[in-house]
Amino acid sequence: MGAQAMNRATIERFVAAWCASWCRVDIDAVVAHFADNAQMRSPLALTLTGSPLVTGAENIRAYWRKAYGHIESADLKILGWSWDEAIARLTVWWQLGDTRASEFMDFDDAGRVVRSEAFYGK
């Protein structure tokens, strides 16, 4: 799925699959959408690793296993999403328990996430 082939319909399917993967806490399925050299930035990463930036799909997988590996399922709810085709950026607003977040994901020409950043609130 190249970025040129990514449209609202493909992104809508991506968001549904992404949410379902997180609800199952299927970290491998989430990471499968990331490029090998992807970067992910999160305030939770800063808390758990000492750095807000995690680089590389395998490091992102290890971080998410540390952060969420003890959870069997999650009631993640998608509040909304937006796709900017011009810059191949998906922004998702979601809620998990009392935590609300916005997260953007930038895609490469192969349709893989190359950069992600999450912002948390209540």
pLDDT in tens, 6-32: 888 999 999 999 999 999 999 999 999
For CA atoms 7, 8, 10, 15, the dihedral sign is positive
- Reported CATH class of domain 3-121: alpha beta
Q: pLDDT-based confidence at 59, cuts 50/70/90?
A: very high
pLDDT of res. 104: 97
Q: How is residue 40 written in tokens?
A: 């992910």
DSSP notation for 2-46: -GGG--HHHHHHHHHHHHHHHHTT-HHHHHTTEEEEEEEE-HHHH
Tens of pLDDT, residues 63-103: 999 988 888 889 999 999 999 999 999 999 999 999 999 99
- pTM for this structure? 0.90
Phi-psi domain of 39 (left: phi exceeds 0; alpha: psi -120 through 50; beta: other): beta
Nearby residues of 22 by Cβ (< 8 Å), 6 or more positions away:
30, 74, 76
Measured CA angle at 96 (ends 46, 78), to 5 deg: 110
pLDDT of res. 121: 84
Measure the CA–CA gap between 39 and 37, rounded to whole angstroms.
7
Nearby residues of 51 by Cβ (< 8 Å), 6 or more positions away:
45
Q: How is residue 97 written in tokens?
A: 């328990």
